[in-house]
């Protein structure tokens, strides 16, 4: 089961411009789900002459029961937006909340 939890799933209907792997050991268990992989993905959507790059950053969580991709951040975030987002997540315990948020979405889809 693959869930794309975005208002417009077409926004991620292509290969990301950049991907950062946050977890890939495949041996982390949470609420009955085996977490195989956690990534942040950058999709550059447009470049404005004055504002710069418009970035869509999504989180991707792959489990033994399915995967979820959802919006993490978006906007005119500059040149190094993905690396700054990764540093923020890792240094502020954001990884656990990102995983839990994804599992909630996955559980809701499985139960429907």
CB proximity list for 68: less than 8 A, separation 6 or greater: 3, 5, 59, 60, 61, 102, 103, 105, 106
Global pTM value: 0.90
Express each pLDDT in 49-94 by its tens digit.
999 999 999 999 999 999 999 999 999 998 899 999 999 988 887 8
Structure tokens at 64: 């033994």
d(CA 48, CA 66): 36
Residue pLDDT, tens place only, 22-51: 999 877 888 889 999 999 999 999 999 999
Q: What would the mean pLDDT of 6-21 be, rounded to a whole number?
A: 93
Give the C-alpha separation, 106 to 112, whole Å. 10
List the domain boundaries for the chain.
Answer: 2-106
Residue found by looking up tokens 């839990």 in the block: 100
């Amino acid at each position: 089961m693959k869930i794309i939890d975005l208002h417009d799933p077409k926004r991620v209907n292509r290969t990301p411009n950049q991907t950062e792997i946050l977890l890939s050991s495949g041996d982390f268990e949470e609420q009955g789900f085996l977490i195989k992989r956690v990534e942040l993905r950058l999709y550059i959507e447009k470049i404005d002459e004055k504002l710069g790059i418009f970035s869509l950053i999504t989180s991707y969580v792959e489990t033994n029961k399915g995967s979820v991709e959802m919006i993490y951040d978006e906007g005119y975030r500059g040149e190094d937006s993905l690396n700054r987002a990764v540093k923020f997540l890792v240094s502020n315990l954001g990884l656990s909340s990102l995983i839990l948020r994804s599992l909630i979405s996955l559980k809701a889809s499985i139960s429907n």
